[in-house]
Chains A and B, each alone.
Chain A
Amino acid sequence: MASIRMDGLTKAYGNLEVIHGIDLDIEEGEFVALVGPSGCGKSTMLRMIAGLESISRGEIAFDGEVVNEMTPSERGISMVFQSYALYPHLTVRKNLSFGLENLRMKRAEIDARVAEAARMLELDAYLDRKPKALSGGQRQRVAIGRAIVRHPKVFLFDEPLSNLDAKLRVQTRGEITRLHRQLGTTMIYVTHDQVEAMTMAGKIVVLNGGKVEQVGRPLDLFERPANLFVAGFIGSPRMNLYDGQIVGTEGGAARVASPETGELTVPLGHAASGRAVKIGLRPSHFAVGAEAEGSPLMLDVDQVESLGHETYLHGRLNGAETTTIVHVQNHLDAAPGDRLPVRPRAGHVHLFDAASGQSLGRA
């Protein structure tokens, strides 16, 4: 177990800088997810922590000790690759023991650790098979097993679930979370799937274009996104965003208006009238139908996705062009062409500065 500190971490390939001075603290035993769109530098950052990629500038320290110049094995990390990177010509048992043999560990200790990992991951039946005779999910577990047997200080995962089908993904997600509880080891988990990040991590780091957009607990990111990028990235379906304007301020409250939302009053201390803003409303933060009786806001329904226990309405607010998605718990009888009253839930209206994208607060 180790705590990790990154200080001005920078990566450049020649003149091309892809990671721009990241500062980040990861506590001992924490499960941290690095999320962000494709190409934002998640893998690069993870590989720098692993020691597979050199550090152009800045520092990485494990438990206060700078590890910049250490080899991957000296850092005491384990990594699970997206491709699994199993040794194809070795049996599962050999795959698990390969790294331990490098440490000149006693045979009995090696066997004990392999047996322990095999039991934890239910690999006993496959120990004498080669990777090519395993299913994707089994290979995945071998890859995790190979990481476990080393008893690392830090686990690194690079999109470990992306080659699995949806069902197996959910199952393995659970297994990794369970593993984290069981071992209590620091884990850094790279994914571009925000659902994975939200469900597994204790702390999420949202990356974009080689910079950190926001760091926080999953619910914090969901409820208090620091900027437009995080607002759009976290939460599915994504937050509805509308171009609006502050039309007036009265004693700690501001009136904002957009063609879609009409005029809304939000408590906001420091806003100049006339300022251009983005108004954000999450799909699940609407009252619909009977609940919104009397609301001046009407949704023209274009499309209804009914999953039985929940319903997604795609439509337009107040006759505007922008598509709005509204999420309703339970089944809702609605059909394309319907016109339903909706009301944004109080306390869930997000405001962002249109120019900088920074959050102005939530009300």
Chain B
Amino acid sequence: MAATDDGYVRPAREAAVSSGDRGDRLLEAAMGVVEWPFTRLQRLIGLRRMPWVFVLPNMALFTIFVFIPVLLAIGYAFTGGTELLLWNRPFVGFENFSRLLSCGSYLDPATCELDLFWTAVFNTTWYTAFNATGTLVVSLVTALVLNRLTRGKAFFRAIFFYPVLLSPVVVALVWKWFLARNGLLNAVFADMMGERTIFLLEVLWSRFWVVYVSIWFHMGFYTLIILAGLQAIPRDIYEAALIDGTSRWRQFWRLTLPLLMPNLLVVLVLLLIRSVQVFDEAWVLTDGGGPGTANTFVVQFIYETAFATDVRLYGLASAASVLMGLALLVLTLVQLWLGKKAEN
């Protein structure tokens, strides 16, 4: 990079030109086209204001599609009735929240005014617990194995990552077919098991498969993060450990795991957030949260309360979203705090 008189910083083009590659030349041409207006703009407003130019488009989209909706949802949470537009809705204070939170006993959803909400909260909690732990363990083990491979590492990494690229609906449909009464799993194992199991219509089986499919679907992503962490650990400390006569087991617990902690923490935060938000693949896989309400999660409750019932209770749904947002915030803060503590 070289700064010219006007303070404009030009990217080093020499490298691209000298390599003579066609792709580089194309990029070079494109850069030229893009560069000109920015050069003019920078002369006009000065270098110090340029960062805003690059940040603003994204900020605008973020404001319109995230920030304002969040504020609106908070607004809706304090209104009642079934009107769609906020200014037509009556202010009801904390009524929506108190309805959501009114229970005879919090340990038993049946005693709650909104038993479906509490069922969803319970379901989401067990799903989050199993899904987060399961994915974390499976991704960690996969990453440890991949990291030890001397050949085929890139191949297997790609194989495990591949499902991440699929659409959740496609994944759910494929697995649904796989698990159906006449599906592949029953076809293969029918004789062995004596009879065909309708996996997705039995409470425990359906819950198991919801978690299983989620792990199968997402583990590649987390494996990749953990693998990156493993590869960042200097190899020579393992040689030092070898000379120190450290057992494999102790190497893992005393060296690998602590040094991997920052990555594991990121993975855990992402996993918890995404588990609490579970909706699409589970919804399609279980035909809307079945059997019964065995797989009805909080987001499904919010969606159905606001958009999929005859009486559209936007206020109640918004209040539920706000509660979920708060839960996520608390979870994230706790983990960041734990991370800070682990560092010291």
Interface string of B230-245 (1 = CB under 8 A from A): 0000101101111111
**Across the A-B interface, how many residue pairs have beta carbons closer than 8 Å?**
57
B250: interface (CB < 8 Å)? yes
For the complex, give the distance between the alpha carbons of A185 and B74 in Å.
Answer: 73
Q: Is there an interface contact between B239 and A98, defined as CB atoms closer than 8 Å?
A: no
Find out whether the CB atom of A50 lies under 8 angstroms from the CB atom of B243.
yes
Is A99 a contact of B259 with CB atoms below 8 Å? no
Quick check: A87 and B237 within 8 Å, CB to CB? yes
* Cβ A102 vs Cβ B246 within 8 A: yes
Q: Are A81 and B245 in contact (CB under 8 A)?
A: no
- Given the known A-B contacts A85-B237, A86-B237, A102-B250, are A79 and B243 also in contact in the complex, defined by CB atoms under 8 Å? yes
**Is A85's CB under 8 angstroms from B236's CB?**
yes
Instruction: From the candidates A73, A89, A103, A146, name the one contacting B258 in the complex (CB within 8 A).
Output: A89
CA–CA, A15 to B228, complex, Å? 32
Q: Which residue of B lies closest to A73 (CB)?
A: B245
Which residues of A have CB within 8 Å of B204? none
Contacts of A73 in B (CB 8 A): 242-245
Which positions 234-274 of chain B face chain A at CB distance < 8 Å?
A: 234, 236-237, 239-247, 250, 254-255, 258-259
Q: Are A102 and B237 in contact (CB under 8 A)?
A: no
Q: Closest residue of chain A to B257, judged by CB?
A: A89
Contacts A83-B234, A85-B237; A72 near B243 (Cβ below 8 A): yes
Complex Cα distance, B242 from A150, in Å, reads: 13
- Chain B contact surface mostly: helix
A62 CB to closest chain B CB (Å) equals 15
Q: Do A88 and B236 contact each other (CB < 8 Å), given the known contacts A99-B246, A102-B244? A: no
Measured CA separation A102–B242 after assembly (Å): 11
State A231–B120 Cα separation when bound (angstroms). 83
Determine if B246 and A98 form an interchain contact, defined as CB atoms under 8 angstroms apart: yes
- Bitwise interface map of A from 77 to 101 toward B, beta carbon under 8 Å scored 1, else 0: 1110101011111000000001100
Q: Which residues of A contact B247 (CB under 8 A)?
A: 102
Judge whether A77 and B258 touch: CB under 8 Å. no
Q: Report how far A83 CA is from B233 CA in the complex, Å.
A: 13
**Which residue of B has the minimal Cβ distance to A94?**
B254
Interface size on B, residues (CB 8 A): 17
Chain A, interface size category, equals 20 to 34
Do B240 and A85 touch across chains, with their CB atoms under 8 A apart? Answer: yes
Are A102 and B259 within 8 A (Cβ)?
Answer: no
Which of B239, B240, B259 has the most A CB atoms < 10 Å from its CB? B240
Q: Which A residue's beta carbon lies closest to that of B254?
A: A98
Do residues B240 and A81 form an inter-chain contact, with CB atoms below 8 A?
A: yes
A52 is an interface residue with CB less than 8 A from chain B: yes
Contact call B237/A88, Cβ cutoff below 8 A: yes
Q: A71 contacts the other chain (Cβ, under 8 Å)?
A: yes
Q: Are B243 and A78 in contact (CB under 8 A)?
A: yes
Least CB separation from A98: chain B residue: B244
Which chain A residue shows the least CB distance to B344? A130
> Given A79-B240, A87-B255, do A102 and B234 touch, yes or no (CB 8 Å)?
no
**Per-position contact with B for A57-75: 1 when CB-CB < 8 Å, else 0?**
0000000000000011110
- The answer to whether A81 touches B244, judged by C-beta atoms less than 8 angstroms apart, is no
Please name all residues of chain A whose beta carbon is closer than 8 Å to the beta carbon of B241 when the two chains form the complex.
87, 98
Beyond A73-B244, A102-B244, is A85–B239 a contact (Cβ under 8 Å)? yes
Say whether, besides A71-B242, A102-B250, A89 and B236 are in contact (CB < 8 Å). no
Q: Is the CB of B245 within 8 A of A99?
A: yes
Q: Write the nearest CB–CB distance from B255 to chain A, whole angstroms.
A: 7
B-contact 0/1 string along A309-325, CB 8 Å cutoff: 00000000000000000
Name the distance in Å between A320's Cβ and chain B's nearest Cβ.
42
Knowing A52-B239, A102-B250 are in contact, say whether A85-B234 is a contact too (CB < 8 A).
yes
**Distance between A14 CB and nearest chain B CB, rounded to angstroms:** 13
Shortest distance between the CB of A7 and any CB in chain B (Å): 23
Interface centre among A51, A88, A103, A146 (most CB of B within 10 A): A88
A65 smallest CB distance to B (angstroms)? 18
State the CA gap A280–B246 with chains docked (Å): 52
Asked whether, in the complex, the Cβ of B240 is within 8 Å of the Cβ of A89, the reply is no
Residue numbers in B under 8 Å from A50 (CB-CB):
243
Q: Closest residue to B261 on the A side, CB-wise?
A: A89
Name the B residues within 8 Å of A99 (CB-CB).
Answer: 243-246
Contacts of B255 in A (CB 8 A): 87
Within the complex, what minimum Cβ distance (angstroms) separates A70 from chain B?
11
Give Cα distance in the complex from A86 to B242, angstroms.
13
Please provide the 8 A-B residue pairs with the shortest distance between their CB atoms, ordered closest to farther.
A73-B245, A99-B244, A85-B236, A85-B240, A72-B243, A102-B245, A89-B258, A85-B237
State the B residues within 8 Å of A (CB): 234, 236-237, 239-247, 250, 254-255, 258-259
29 contacts between A and B (CB under 8 A): A50-B243, A51-B242, A52-B239, A52-B243, A71-B245, A72-B242, A73-B243, A73-B245, A77-B243, A79-B240, A79-B243, A81-B236, A81-B240, A83-B234, A85-B234, A85-B236, A85-B237, A86-B240, A87-B255, A89-B258, A98-B241, A99-B245, A99-B246, A102-B245, A102-B247, A102-B250, A103-B245, A146-B240, A146-B244
B-binding residues in A (CB < 8 A): 50-52, 71-74, 77-79, 81, 83, 85-89, 98-99, 102-103, 146, 150
Contacts beyond the supplied A72-B243, A83-B234: 17 A-B pairs with Cβ under 8 Å: A52-B239, A52-B242, A73-B242, A74-B245, A79-B243, A81-B239, A81-B240, A85-B240, A87-B237, A87-B240, A87-B241, A88-B237, A89-B258, A89-B259, A99-B243, A99-B246, A102-B245
